[in-house]
Amino acid sequence: MAGPRRLLQPKYLIGAVAVIALLWLSAKIARGAYYLHQLDADRAEITDLARAQSPFTHGRQWQDALLDVDQNLRGLAQAIQPMIALGALLGPSNQLHATANAVSEILAISHELIAMGQKLLSFDDLFTEDGNAPTRATQIAVLARHAQELTQLAEQAKQLENRLNALPLGQLPSALAEPLQQSQALANLLTATLQMAPAAPQLLGFDRPQTYLLLVQNNHELRATGGFITAAGLLKVTAGDMELLDFVDSYEIANSAVQHPWAPAPMQRYLGIDLLFLRDANWSPDFATTAQLARTLYAQNQGVWVDGVIA
Domain ranges of the chain: 2-199, 210-310
Q: Are 205 and 239 in contact (CB under 8 A)?
A: yes
How far does Cα 267 stand from its chain's mean position?
37
* Burial class (CB within 10 angstroms; exposed 0-12, middle 13-18, buried 19+) of 26: exposed
Q: What angle do CA 51, 52, 57 make, to 5 degrees?
A: 130
> What per-residue confidence (pLDDT) applies to 178?
85
Beta strand ranges found along 70-165 (DSSP E): none
Q: Which residues of the chain register pLDDT less than 70?
A: 1-29, 86-94, 130-131
> What per-residue confidence (pLDDT) applies to 72?
86
CA distance 8 to 11: 8
Q: Output phi, psi for 143, to 5 deg.
A: -60, -40
β-bridge pairing 308-310 and 241-249:
unpaired
> What per-residue confidence (pLDDT) applies to 5?
54
